[in-house]
Amino acid sequence: MKAEKKAPSISKIASQVLMLVVCLASFSSTGVLAVNMTVPNALIRGTAGGEALLSVSYSSSSLDLPVIKWQLAREKSVTVVQSIGTDIIGTLRPEYRDRILVFENGTLLLHNLRLSDDGTYDVEISITDDTFPGEGTITLTVDEAISRPYIHTEALAVLELSENVVLNCSHDNGTRTAYRWFKGGKPLTNVTRFTLSPEQKFLTITRVLMADDDVYSCAVENPVGNVTSLPIRLTVYRRSSLYIILSTGGIFLLISLVTVCACWTPTKEQRHPSTKHLSSFYDHLDDSPLSQTADELPKRKKHNGINAVTSLYILQQKDPSTDDSSSNSVGSPDLENPPCYSSSPDHGGRLSPPNGPAASSPHRCIT
**For residue range 86-108, what is the model confidence (pLDDT) as tens digits?**
999 989 999 999 999 999 999 99
Contacts of 200 (CB under 8 A, 6+ apart): 178, 179, 180, 181
Same domain, 160 and 131: no
- Which residues are 84's β-sheet partners? 67, 87
The predicted-structure confidence for 18-36, as pLDDT tens digits, reads as follows 665 544 444 444 445 778 9
Picking from 207, 237, 267, the residue at the C-terminal end of a domain is 237
pLDDT at 198 over 60: yes
C-alpha distances out from residue 342 to 194, 289, 317, 365, Å: 102, 16, 11, 10
**% of the chain surpassing 70 pLDDT:** 59
Note whether residue 325 is domain-resident. Answer: no
Picking from 112, 143, 174, the residue at the C-terminal end of a domain is 143
Give me the pLDDT at residue 255, please: 80
Note whether residue 205 is domain-resident. Answer: yes
Q: Greater confidence, 41 or 241? A: 41
Give me the pLDDT at residue 244, please: 56
Same domain, 132 and 219: no
Which is it for strands 313-315 and 341-343: parallel, antiparallel or unpaired?
antiparallel
CA distance 223 to 226: 8
CATH classification of the domain holding 110: 2.60.40.10
Neighbours of 99 (CB within 10 A): 17
Give me the pLDDT at residue 246, please: 60
CA distance 152 to 116: 32
Note whether residue 276 is domain-resident. Answer: no
Please report which confidence band the pLDDT of residue 343 belongs to, taking 50, 70 and 90 as the band edges: very low
Note whether residue 12 is domain-resident. Answer: no
**% of the chain surpassing 90 pLDDT:** 38
Please report which confidence band the pLDDT of residue 196 belongs to, taking 50, 70 and 90 as the band edges: confident
Same domain, 47 and 129: yes
Contacts of 78 (CB under 8 A, 6+ apart): 71, 72, 93
Mean pLDDT (whole number) for 287-307: 47
User: Please, are residues 118 and 140 in contact by the beta-carbon 8 Å criterion?
Assistant: yes
Same domain, 193 and 167: yes
- Domain of residue 163, residue span: 150-237
Please report which confidence band the pLDDT of residue 132 belongs to, taking 50, 70 and 90 as the band edges: confident
Picking from 143, 176, 197, the residue at the C-terminal end of a domain is 143
In this structure, of 114-123, 170-179, 250-259, 315-324, the range with the lowest mean pLDDT score is 315-324
pLDDT at 290 over 70: no
Q: Greater confidence, 65 or 360? A: 65
Top-confidence range, 3-12, 116-125, 257-266? 116-125
Element (H, E) at 88: strand 87-88
Same domain, 69 and 110: yes
Work out the mean pLDDT of the chain and round it to a whole number.
Answer: 74
Contacts of 336 (CB under 8 A, 6+ apart): 325, 326, 328
Note whether residue 249 is domain-resident. Answer: no
Same domain, 136 and 230: no
Note whether residue 359 is domain-resident. Answer: no
Question: What is the domain count for the chain?
Answer: 2
Same domain, 135 and 188: no
The CA-CA-CA angle for residues 233, 237, 242, to 5°, reads 170
Residue 359 burial by CB count (10 A; 0-12/13-18/19+): exposed, middle or buried?
exposed
Question: Considering only CA atoms, which of 338, 332, 333 is closest in space to residue 365?
Answer: 338
Please report which confidence band the pLDDT of residue 109 belongs to, taking 50, 70 and 90 as the band edges: very high
Same domain, 57 and 139: yes
Q: Greater confidence, 82 or 282? A: 82
- In this structure, the chain runs to a length of 367
Q: Greater confidence, 152 or 339? A: 152
pLDDT at 345 over 70: no
Same domain, 138 and 156: no
Mean pLDDT (whole number) for 147-172: 89
Which is it for strands 157-159 and 232-237: parallel, antiparallel or unpaired?
parallel
Residue 217 burial by CB count (10 A; 0-12/13-18/19+): exposed, middle or buried?
buried
Torsion on CA atoms 9, 14, 16, 20, rounded to nearest 10: 160
In this structure, of 59-68, 231-240, 241-250, 280-289, the range with the lowest mean pLDDT score is 280-289
The CA-CA-CA angle for residues 143, 78, 106, to 5°, reads 80
Same domain, 104 and 156: no
Top-confidence range, 129-138, 188-197, 238-247, 320-329? 129-138
Give me the pLDDT at residue 263, please: 76
Give me the pLDDT at residue 125, please: 93
Element (H, E) at 266: none
CA distance 201 to 55: 36
CA distance 92 to 80: 7
Note whether residue 324 is domain-resident. Answer: no
Same domain, 200 and 228: yes
Mean pLDDT (whole number) for 34-50: 93
Mean pLDDT (whole number) for 155-167: 87
Q: What is the largest CA-CA distance in the chain?
A: 206
Neighbours of 178 (CB within 10 A): 14
Same domain, 136 and 157: no
Please report which confidence band the pLDDT of residue 314 belongs to, taking 50, 70 and 90 as the band edges: very low
pTM above threshold 0.75: no
- Which residues are 59's β-sheet partners? 36
pLDDT at 247 over 80: no
Note whether residue 122 is domain-resident. Answer: yes
